[in-house]
């Protein structure tokens, strides 16, 4: 069967740049993406039309699972989601494929991947930047870098962009298509085992100010091709990220965050949000945009990971029209808040934003910023944060650092390319190694491929002004209810410690992302108490509303409780007291709890309240068990970051139509690192008097 036109183009060159990509003939390639604690996505591209399936199972042996057979159209990414996997477990898989629609299926070589690690488990990942695949790239050297990275057995691999070089093709940017497929081949050498995370570069064709809402712009065309070939994180229970579809594209998968072991990984994109071109001297046009900035702030503030690492192609601003530099440029523009002359411009150019990016990173304990763009290895430090410029993986001119000065690098350890970074995480620290790549002809007795030419250790930084403790009140109200009730909530706080306490109340609302909720700060003297009557009205100025409240304090010695009540038609009030949940009270991943006494009949109904205690999306599994021990029903509820929801008439919502009494609700979360508060209200149908049931 003849080869596809695309594969022939790969074998020859990208004519616009006249580059031989050095890709051999091959029937298909496989790249992994979107790994979670329970799944991974297998992306297959075939260069001959046919079909195939994936077989997978535990690496230790045992029962294998076979996916459904899927068509393999030529040059089209086909994604298989392998789900139902165990956390922190190695799995082996093979792709079975054939050309056409008959004949025997041939398997690829078996490869192994691993699902997400929990906290306190060691792991390794790798990083590259600026592959380029241009006239300054040695394809054999690039392949050797990827082989070196594969030998590190990483859990995943991060690419910092300038990978497809789409804008270098000029007006004929669609001629860049072969380069995307060439990168598919090269990434498959490593990322068939180590899932790929792609971070946008300035030359990858996806820039906000070039988008016009149609599919024909360079931005939309580049995004659609990338998304079809390289699965990147989508917002879900494991990943947070960009939730806003782009016209003519859909979800961009361009900025995201997740926790793996003891590390928070944060990937940024300053390209799509930049909707105005600049003049080359004033770089205030370059931006993360308000949505990404607020998400970043919430993510960093909400994470309790021991190491927080930020990944971006280049600083948001930088020196000159090409936005160069590391710590020497970190004081400028959106990144540092200063104008070119050193005067402050942040308040004027970013009204309503809390602080520049570098200050945010310092305050929230970011340990390192990994960036590319400048084609060097440069390890620098500023205010306790490591700024790490990542070397190129295929630049053949060894040890050249002449561009450092012109790009603004003055301080730190500066070395030439090529190679990759290996990051080994253990005991809450990370060892960063620069692993040099050399072709055989360049090796000597004292200079070998795979040598570690520089190494250092990252340690976690303390978060400035981090609260000593937090409490989550799952519900509060200022709303009408059933039967003519009007519900309001009083919040009582006592400082039982010997030191004065600062505290912040944050109203999280309901059925929405609560991380951007209103905040009010107070102080409370040692030994004193305070009660905010009708807290939503008196503190937050809400005419109506309901939802959870998060209380954060400088003191762990607080007692916190809420009372929600309504006037009784005969006089007085009735209601219920609900304690605020400290960390030890939460339902956490791996530690399910039960609420007993669930009832649903003509006399009583049961509502369930769930409140996410984390800044990431969370799934909650609820199973109903009868008094006699029979499983009645189960359902999964999804909560946004710091989100709260009420499940009204829980038994009916679970699909049980019979009357029941004495049942129990089993609560758990499959979300890695997840935790949530929960309680149930059993409500008298005649009086509307609620009774509180807490998880045990």
Q: Are residues 443 and 577 in the same domain?
A: no
Q: What is the pTM of this model?
A: 0.70
Domain boundary residue among 459, 477, 511?
Answer: 459
What burial class does residue 44 get, using C-beta atoms within 10 Å of its C-beta: 0-12 exposed, 13-18 middle, 19+ buried?
buried
How far apart are the C-alpha atoms of 283 and 7, rounded to whole Å?
40
pLDDT at 77: 98
pLDDT at 483: 63
Higher model confidence: residue 480 or residue 175? 175
- 464, part of any domain: no
Q: How confident is the model at residue 16 (pLDDT cuts 50, 70, 90)?
A: very low
Q: Are residues 429 and 503 in the same domain?
A: no
Q: Are residues 493 and 347 in the same domain?
A: no
| Per-residue b or e along 432-471, where b marks 16 or more CB atoms closer than 10 Å to that residue's CB | bbbbbbbeeeeeeeeeebbbeeeeeebebbebeeebebbb
pLDDT at 6: 42
Q: Are residues 421 and 503 in the same domain?
A: no
Higher model confidence: residue 468 or residue 652? 652
pLDDT at 8 over 70: no
Q: What is the dihedral of CA 205, 206, 207, 208, to 10 degrees?
A: 150
What burial class does residue 32 get, using C-beta atoms within 10 Å of its C-beta: 0-12 exposed, 13-18 middle, 19+ buried?
buried
- 366, part of any domain: yes
CATH of residue 431 = 3.60.21.10
Share of the chain above pLDDT 90, in %: 81
Q: Are residues 474 and 341 in the same domain?
A: no
How far apart are the C-alpha atoms of 318 and 68, rounded to whole Å?
49
- Least confident segment among 12-21, 192-201, 486-495: 12-21
What would the pLDDT profile of 587-641 be if each residue is shown by its tens digit? Answer: 998 899 999 999 999 999 999 999 999 887 889 999 999 999 999 999 999 999 8
How far apart are the C-alpha atoms of 455 and 309, rounded to whole Å?
17
pLDDT at 671: 85
- 352, part of any domain: yes
CB 398 within 8 A of CB 442: yes
Rg of the Cα atoms in the chain: 28
In degrees and rounded to multiples of 5, residue 53 shows phi and psi of -155, 170
Q: Are residues 475 and 435 in the same domain?
A: no
CB atoms within 10 A of CB 590: 12
CB 667 within 8 A of CB 654: no
Biggest CA-to-CA distance, the chain: 94
Q: How far is CA 457 from CA 154, 313, 409, 417, 642, in A?
A: 18, 22, 22, 21, 33
Q: Are residues 453 and 479 in the same domain?
A: no
Q: Name every residue whose Cβ is closer than 8 Å to that of residue 669 and which is 6 or more positions away in sequence.
A: 587, 588, 589, 618, 619, 620, 621, 675, 676
- 309, part of any domain: yes
Q: Are residues 452 and 559 in the same domain?
A: no
Q: Are residues 529 and 653 in the same domain?
A: yes
CB atoms within 10 A of CB 551: 21
- The mean pLDDT of 564-568, rounded to a whole number, is 84
Q: Are residues 359 and 501 in the same domain?
A: no
Cα angle value 542/545/548 (rounded, 5°)? 105
CB 445 within 8 A of CB 532: no
pLDDT at 113 over 90: yes
**Domains held by the chain: number:** 2
pLDDT at 10 over 50: no
Domain boundary residue among 459, 487, 513?
Answer: 459
Q: Are residues 65 and 170 in the same domain?
A: yes
What burial class does residue 62 get, using C-beta atoms within 10 Å of its C-beta: 0-12 exposed, 13-18 middle, 19+ buried?
exposed
pLDDT at 467 over 80: no
- 320, part of any domain: yes
- 199, part of any domain: yes
- 344, part of any domain: yes
> Phi-psi region for residue 320, left (φ > 0), alpha (ψ -120 to 50) or beta?
left
- The mean pLDDT of 308-327, rounded to a whole number, is 95
pLDDT at 26 over 70: yes
- The mean pLDDT of 147-159, rounded to a whole number, is 98
What burial class does residue 310 get, using C-beta atoms within 10 Å of its C-beta: 0-12 exposed, 13-18 middle, 19+ buried?
buried
pLDDT at 11: 39
Q: Are residues 389 and 486 in the same domain?
A: no
How far apart are the C-alpha atoms of 354 and 360, rounded to whole Å?
8
How far apart are the C-alpha atoms of 222 and 204, rounded to whole Å?
7
How far apart are the C-alpha atoms of 174 and 565, rounded to whole Å?
64
How far apart are the C-alpha atoms of 36 and 239, rounded to whole Å?
8
Q: How confident is the model at residue 513 (pLDDT cuts 50, 70, 90)?
A: confident
Mean pLDDT over the full length of the chain: 92
Q: How confident is the model at residue 463 (pLDDT cuts 50, 70, 90)?
A: low
**Closest C-alpha to 232, from 146, 157, 147:** 157
- The mean pLDDT of 477-493, rounded to a whole number, is 84
Q: How far is CA 247 from CA 214, 253, 293, in A?
A: 7, 14, 21
Q: Residue 49 is part of which domain span?
A: 5-459
How far apart are the C-alpha atoms of 47 and 67, rounded to whole Å?
21
pLDDT at 572: 78
What would the pLDDT profile of 382-417 be if each residue is shown by its tens digit? Answer: 988 999 999 999 999 998 998 999 999 999 999 999
What would the pLDDT profile of 264-277 be if each residue is shown by its tens digit? Answer: 999 999 999 999 99
**CA atoms within 13 Å, Cβ hemisphere of 572:** 4
pLDDT at 532 over 70: yes
CB atoms within 10 A of CB 408: 16
Domain boundary residue among 459, 484, 502?
Answer: 459
Q: How confident is the model at residue 13 (pLDDT cuts 50, 70, 90)?
A: very low
pLDDT at 1 over 50: no
pLDDT at 656: 96
- 140, part of any domain: yes
- Least confident segment among 200-204, 421-425, 563-567, 607-611: 563-567
Is cis: bond before 418, omega within 30 of 0?
A: yes
How far apart are the C-alpha atoms of 597 and 166, rounded to whole Å?
62
């Amino acid at each position: 069967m003849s080869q596809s036109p695309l594969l022939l183009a790969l074998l020859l060159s990208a004519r616009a740049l006249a580059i031989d990509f050095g890709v051999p003939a091959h029937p298909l390639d496989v790249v992994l993406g979107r790994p979670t604690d329970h799944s991974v996505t297998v992306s297959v591209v075939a260069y001959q039309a046919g079909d195939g399936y994936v077989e997978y199972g535990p690496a230790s042996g045992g029962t294998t699972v076979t996916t459904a057979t899927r068509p393999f159209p030529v040059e089209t990414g086909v994604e298989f989601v392998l789900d139902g996997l165990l956390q922190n477990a190695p799995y082996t898989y093979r792709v079975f494929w054939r050309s056409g629609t008959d004949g025997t299926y041939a398997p690829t070589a078996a490869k192994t991947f691993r699902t997400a690690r929990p906290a306190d488990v060691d792991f390794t990942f790798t990083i590259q930047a600026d592959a380029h695949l241009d006239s300054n790239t040695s394809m054999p050297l690039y392949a050797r870098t990827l082989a070196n990275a594969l030998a590190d057995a990483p859990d995943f691999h991060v690419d910092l962009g300038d990978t497809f070089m789409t804008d270098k093709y000029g007006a004929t940017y669609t001629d860049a298509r072969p380069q995307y497929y060439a990168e598919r081949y090269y990434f498959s050498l490593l990322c068939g085992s180590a899932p790929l995370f792609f971070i946008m570069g300035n030359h990858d064709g996806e820039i906000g100010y070039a988008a016009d809402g149609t599919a024909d712009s360079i931005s939309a065309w580049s995004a659609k091709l990338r998304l079809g070939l390289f699965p990147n994180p989508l917002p879900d229970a494991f990943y947070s990220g960009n939730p806003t579809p782009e016209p003519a594209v859909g979800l961009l998968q361009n900025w995201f965050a997740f926790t793996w072991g003891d590390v928070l990984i944060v990937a940024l994109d300053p390209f799509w949000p930049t909707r105005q071109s600049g003049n080359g001297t004033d770089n205030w046009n370059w931006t993360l945009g308000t949505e990404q900035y607020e998400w970043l702030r919430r993510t960093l503030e909400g994470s309790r990971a021991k190491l927080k690492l930020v990944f971006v192609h280049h600083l948001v601003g930088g020196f000159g029209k090409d936005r160069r530099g590391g710590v020497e440029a970190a004081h400028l523009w959106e990144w540092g808040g200063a104008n070119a002359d050193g005067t402050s411009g942040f308040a004027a150019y970013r009204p309503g934003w809390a602080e520049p990016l570098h200050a945010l990173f310092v305050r929230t304990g970011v340990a390192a910023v990994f960036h590319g763009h400048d084609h060097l290895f440069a390890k620098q430090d500023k205010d306790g944060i490591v700024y790490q410029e990542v070397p190129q993986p295929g630049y053949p001119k060894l040890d050249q650092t002449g561009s450092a000065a012109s790009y603004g690098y003055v301080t730190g350890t500066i070395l030439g390319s090529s190679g990759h970074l290996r990051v080994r995480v253990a005991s809450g620290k990370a060892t960063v190694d620069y692993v040099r790549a050399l072709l055989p002809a360049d090796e000597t007795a004292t200079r070998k491929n795979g040598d570690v030419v520089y190494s250092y250790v990252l340690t976690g930084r303390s978060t400035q002004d981090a609260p000593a403790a937090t409490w989550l009140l799952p519900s509060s109200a200022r709303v009408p209810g059933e039967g003519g009730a009007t519900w309001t909530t009083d919040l009582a706080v006592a400082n039982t410690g010997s030191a004065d306490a600062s505290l912040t109340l944050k109203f999280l609302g309901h059925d929405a992302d609560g991380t951007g909720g209103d905040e009010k700060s107070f102080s409370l003297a040692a030994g004193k108490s305070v009660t905010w009557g009708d807290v939503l009205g008196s503190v937050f100025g809400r005419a109506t509303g309901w939802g959870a409240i998060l209380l954060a304090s400088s003191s762990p010695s607080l007692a916190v409780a809420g009372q929600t009540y309504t006037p009784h038609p005969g006089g007085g009030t009735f209601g219920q007291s609900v304690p605020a949940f400290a960390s030890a009270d939460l339902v956490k991943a791996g530690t399910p709890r039960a609420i007993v006494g669930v009832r649903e009949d003509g006399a009583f109904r049961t509502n369930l309240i769930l409140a996410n205690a984390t800044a990431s999306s969370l799934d909650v599994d609820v199973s109903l068990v009868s008094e006699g021990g029979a499983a009645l029903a189960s359902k999964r509820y999804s909560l946004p970051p710091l989100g709260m929801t009420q499940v009204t008439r829980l038994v009916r919502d679970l699909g049980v139509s019979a009357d029941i009494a004495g049942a129990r609700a089993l609560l758990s979360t499959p979300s890695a690192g997840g935790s949530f508060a929960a309680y149930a209200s059993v409500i008298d149908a005649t009086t509307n008097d609620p009774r509180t049931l807490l998880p045990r």
